[in-house]
Amino acid sequence: MKQTPLISTTATPPDDARTPQPPHPTFGEMLEEVIDLTVGLGVALLPLLVLSVPAIVLFVVLPAILLLALAAPLALIGAVIAVPPYLVARRLRRRRRRTANPPACHAGSALRPVRTSGRSRVPDLGSR
């Protein structure tokens, strides 16, 4: 008995044919994937928010309140000490300016009234 060769019923591609490549994703598809991954990460991290809120209050808000409570009296004491001498010095400076004569270098630079002839030096300026 002679065996006949087994003939395949599936078509075999020729040697020079390429296998089909999936189409390249567009920018919109890639952006959609990134948004999906970001939303998934956010949903996965939501339980951590329950744990982080007390930690933020404990390690950030309370120390800030304590530092402000300590700094406010120190700032008030510093203001009580520093402001009166500043105000006295400013008052003395203003009093000296009022009573002092103008310096000699500025004596001739006082403002003087300007007299004009009534006619404009620029033509057609006063023709209305």
| Model confidence at 75: pLDDT above 90 | yes
- Span 51-57, average pLDDT: 86
Domain ranges within the chain, ordered by starting residue: 52-99
Tokens linked to 7:
């003939």
| Model confidence at 44: pLDDT above 90 | yes
- pLDDT number for residue 64: 94
| Model confidence at 17: pLDDT above 90 | no
* Average pLDDT for the chain: 79
Q: Whole-model pTM?
A: 0.34
Residues ≥6 apart with Cβ < 8 Å to 84: none
